[in-house]
């Protein structure tokens, strides 16, 4: 099911502070979209607005090109998984899952037998075939997560909304349930919108990442594009560890303010003036002091992790982390001084991407 959001505005109750500030988003059928951003960015607010849990001051929301006013109609189209699962503690797992079917008006409700079959199907799908009679209190976190998912899927919705679904799980369960969720999405042909504050999780599982900050969408792109072409300094910073170098663009060159960092050539059309160069630790290389002119800085080795040699370059006022792939054989271990080459950096001016 497709979701089309146009100019959505929601204010905090009783105030004029905007929780959602003119948000527009187009999610086509079959997409897997992750909403990411720091706490308070408005991710959950947007998800709740899509689900119809909160009303908005202005803007429109279309599901499959249509306005849905009635909550009961909406319920059949949307499955929602809460951050803390929100299972009904006084019902068995089976009753929890069948709840959405049990509350349907008599004329539409499937028979008891059909409901039981549907519940068993979902339990099998969630890999919990024998858990139907248990109460939620007896389940582990990962199992509760899957029961919540089964409950959300019981009415056969086309749209699945997940609010921080992996937040309370331990790292190993998290990883398996993540890839399992992705395969479920593909198998059932769902449209999924997931909220997470973990950018790595988002990059791994989603086709599209929507980065939010202070109630606005900062960038909406594929993981690859986001990595290559972050729209703002915030997006760059949010997506992973990065270092910022202040400097000046002049005559087609970016010259960093600090000593020990090499200038690099930039596109000729960039207007001269101050700019920031942002780069990830694994994009920095260390040039040997013999080959280049300029002030060198001390460099110390921090060992090897995940296939990268970690170094700390000591600039005048701060240290910069540098990661170099272990297999390159560029062994700088013996050298205690070098110059940083940041020519793969992205340029930003006033927080906006420049080149």
The binding site for other proteins (CB under 8 A) comprises: 13, 51, 53, 71-72, 74-76, 78-80, 82, 84, 86-92, 99-100, 102-104, 133-135, 138, 151, 154-155
SS3 106: coil
In contact, 79 and 163? CB cutoff 8 Å: no
DSSP assignment letter at 24: E
Least distance between other proteins and beta carbon 169 (Å):
18
User: Exposed/middle/buried for 43, CB within 10 Å: 0-12, 13-18, 19+?
Assistant: buried
Q: What is the largest CA-CA distance in the chain?
A: 84
SS3 117: helix
SS3 230: coil
Token pair 């205690």 is found at: 336
Select 17 or 138, whichever has its Cβ closest to other proteins: 138
Nearest alpha carbon to residue 85 among 43, 132, 140, 154: 140
Question: In whole angstroms, what is the distance from residue 287 CA to residue 335 CA?
Answer: 11
Least distance between other proteins and beta carbon 75 (Å):
3
In contact, 96 and 87? CB cutoff 8 Å: yes
Least distance between other proteins and beta carbon 309 (Å):
47
Question: In whole angstroms, what is the distance from residue 210 CA to residue 262 CA?
Answer: 34
DSSP 145-170: HHHHHHHHHTT--SEEEEESTTTTS-
For residue 287, the surrounding DSSP H or E stretch is strand 285-288
Least distance between other proteins and beta carbon 11 (Å):
15
Select 141 or 281, whichever has its Cβ closest to other proteins: 141
Least distance between other proteins and beta carbon 91 (Å):
8
Select 13 or 171, whichever has its Cβ closest to other proteins: 13
Select 135 or 308, whichever has its Cβ closest to other proteins: 135
For residue 193, the surrounding DSSP H or E stretch is strand 191-195
Select 71 or 265, whichever has its Cβ closest to other proteins: 71
Select 82 or 180, whichever has its Cβ closest to other proteins: 82
Select 78 or 126, whichever has its Cβ closest to other proteins: 78
Question: In whole angstroms, what is the distance from residue 236 CA to residue 341 CA?
Answer: 19
Select 158 or 260, whichever has its Cβ closest to other proteins: 158
Least distance between other proteins and beta carbon 131 (Å):
11
Least distance between other proteins and beta carbon 241 (Å):
35
Least distance between other proteins and beta carbon 10 (Å):
16
């Amino acid at each position: 099911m497709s979701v089309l959001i146009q100019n959505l505005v929601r204010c905090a109750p009783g105030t004029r502070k905007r929780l959602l500030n003119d948000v527009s988003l187009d999610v086509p059928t079959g997409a897997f979209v992750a909403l990411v951003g720091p706490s308070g960015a408005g991710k959950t607010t947007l998800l709740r607005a899509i689900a119809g849990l909160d009303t908005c001051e202005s803007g429109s929301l279309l599901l499959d090109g249509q306005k849905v006013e009635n909550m009961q109609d909406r319920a059949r189209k949307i499955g929602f998984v809460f951050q803390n699962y929100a299972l009904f503690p006084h019902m068995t797992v089976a009753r929890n899952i069948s709840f959405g079917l049990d509350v349907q008006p008599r004329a539409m409700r499937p028979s008891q037998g059909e409901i039981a079959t549907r519940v068993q199907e979902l339990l099998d799908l969630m890999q919990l075939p024998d858990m139907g009679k248990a109460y939620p209190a007896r389940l582990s976190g990962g199992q509760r997560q899957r029961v919540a998912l089964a409950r959300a899927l019981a009415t056969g919705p086309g749209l699945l909304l997940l609010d921080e679904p992996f937040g309370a799980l331990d790292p190993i369960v998290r990883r398996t349930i993540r890839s399992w969720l992705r395969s479920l999405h593909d198998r059932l042909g769902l449209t999924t919108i997931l909220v997470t504050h973990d950018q790595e999780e988002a990059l791994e599982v989603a086709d599209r990442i929507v980065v939010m900050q202070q109630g606005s969408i900062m960038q909406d792109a594929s993981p690859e594009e986001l990595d290559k072409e972050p729209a703002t300094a915030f997006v760059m910073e949010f997506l992973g560890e990065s270092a910022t170098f202040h400097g000046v663009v002049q005559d087609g060159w970016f010259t960093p303010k600090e000593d020990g960092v090499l200038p690099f050539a930039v596109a000729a059309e960039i207007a001269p003036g101050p700019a920031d160069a942002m780069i990830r630790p694994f994009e920095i290389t260390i040039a040997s002091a013999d080959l280049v002119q300029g002030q060198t800085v001390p460099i110390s080795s921090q060992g090897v992790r995940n296939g990268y040699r970690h170094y700390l370059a000591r600039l005048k006022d701060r240290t910069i982390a540098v990661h170099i792939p272990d297999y390159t054989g560029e062994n700088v271990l013996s050298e205690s001084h070098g110059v940083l080459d940041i020519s793969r950096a992205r340029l930003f001016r006033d927080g906006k991407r420049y080149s």
